[in-house]
C-alpha cells in the first residue's frame, strides 16, 4: 500500500527557500579588496627599500594577488550558491558556509531578540543583516546580505510572530 506524507518535507531535509540578495556577492568581493590594499601598499614600499632583495616583497605581492583573485572571483559565487534563509509560521531556518555548511532552525517560540544592522558597505549597497537571538548560546543566527527593505520586513514579521507566543521562550 502506498502512502503519501501528510506534512511538507521537514526543513532540515531541504535547503531554505530564499537566497540572499545578489548584491551580497558585490559586498563579498569588496571586503577582500579592502583587506588586500594595505598588503599591496606594504609590499610595494618594502620592495622600494629592500635593495638587492626587492624580489621577496614582489613575490609576496604576487602570492597575495593570487589569493585575492580567488577571494574575489570564486568565493562570492560559491557562498551565494549556499547561503539561504527562510521564515515560516513555525521557525526561522538558515543555511550558510562555503566549505563547512551550517544549517540552523530556530522555532518562533524560542526567539527572544530580532535585530537588523547595516555597516557602511552594506548601506552603500542597500543591504542589511537580520540577527535572531534565543536564550541558547548556540541559537543566534545571522541572515546577512538581505535587501535592506526585505530585512526590515523580516524583522517586523518576526517581531509580530514572536509576540503571539506568550511563553518565556526558554
- What per-residue confidence (pLDDT) applies to 92? 92
End residue of a domain, out of 37, 52, 77: 77
Task: Average the pLDDT over each of 10-19, 43-52, 96-105 and give the range with the smallest value.
Answer: 10-19
Q: How confident is the prediction for the chain on average, in pLDDT?
A: 87
The answer on 91 and 67 residing in a single domain is: no
Q: Tell me the CATH number at 155.
A: 2.30.29
Whether 111 is covered by a domain: the verdict is: yes
The answer on 157 and 90 residing in a single domain is: yes
Summarize pLDDT for 52-80 with one digit per residue, the tens: 888 899 998 999 999 999 999 999 999 99
Q: How far is CA 78 from the centre of its chain?
A: 12
What is the pTM for the complete model shown? 0.80
Average pLDDT over residues 9-13: 58
The answer on 122 and 96 residing in a single domain is: yes
- What per-residue confidence (pLDDT) applies to 1? 42
The answer on 136 and 105 residing in a single domain is: yes
Whether 38 is covered by a domain: the verdict is: yes
Grid cell listed for 60 = 609576496
- Rounded to 5 degrees, what are φ and ψ at 107? -65, 145
Q: At what angle do helices 75-82 and 23-48 cross, to 10 degrees?
A: 150
Q: How far is CA 163 from the centre of its chain?
A: 26
Q: Does residue 169 carry a pLDDT above 70? A: no
The answer on 41 and 91 residing in a single domain is: no
The answer on 46 and 66 residing in a single domain is: yes
Asked if residue 102 lies in contact with residue 108, where contact means CB atoms within 8 angstroms, the answer is: no
Q: What confidence tier does 26 reach under pLDDT thresholds 50, 70, 90?
A: very high
Closest CA to 128 of 142, 108, 113: 142
Summarize pLDDT for 99-135 with one digit per residue, the tens: 788 888 999 989 999 999 999 999 999 999 999 998 8
- Domain of residue 62, residue span: 23-77
Amino acid at each position: 500500500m502506498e502512502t503519501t506524507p501528510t506534512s511538507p518535507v521537514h526543513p532540515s531535509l531541504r535547503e531554505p527557500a530564499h537566497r540572499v540578495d545578489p548584491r551580497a556577492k558585490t559586498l563579498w568581493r569588496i571586503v577582500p579588496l579592502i583587506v588586500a590594499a594595505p598588503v599591496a601598499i606594504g609590499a610595494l614600499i618594502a620592495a622600494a627599500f629592500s635593495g638587492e632583495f626587492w624580489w621577496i616583497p614582489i613575490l609576496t605581492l604576487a602570492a597575495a594577488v593570487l589569493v585575492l583573485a580567488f577571494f574575489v572571483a570564486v568565493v562570492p559565487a560559491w557562498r551565494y550558491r549556499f547561503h539561504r534563509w527562510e521564515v515560516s509560521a513555525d521557525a526561522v531556518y538558515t543555511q550558510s558556509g562555503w566549505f563547512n555548511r551550517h544549517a540552523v532552525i530556530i522555532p518562533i517560540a524560542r526567539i527572544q531578540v530580532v535585530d537588523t544592522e547595516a555597516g557602511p558597505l552594506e548601506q552603500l549597497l542597500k543591504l542589511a543583516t537580520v540577527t535572531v537571538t534565543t536564550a541558547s548560546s548556540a541559537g543566534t543566527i545571522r541572515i546577512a546580505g538581505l535587501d535592506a527593505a526585505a530585512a526590515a520586513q523580516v524583522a517586523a514579521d518576526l517581531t509580530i510572530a514572536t509576540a503571539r507566543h506568550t511563553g518565556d521562550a526558554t
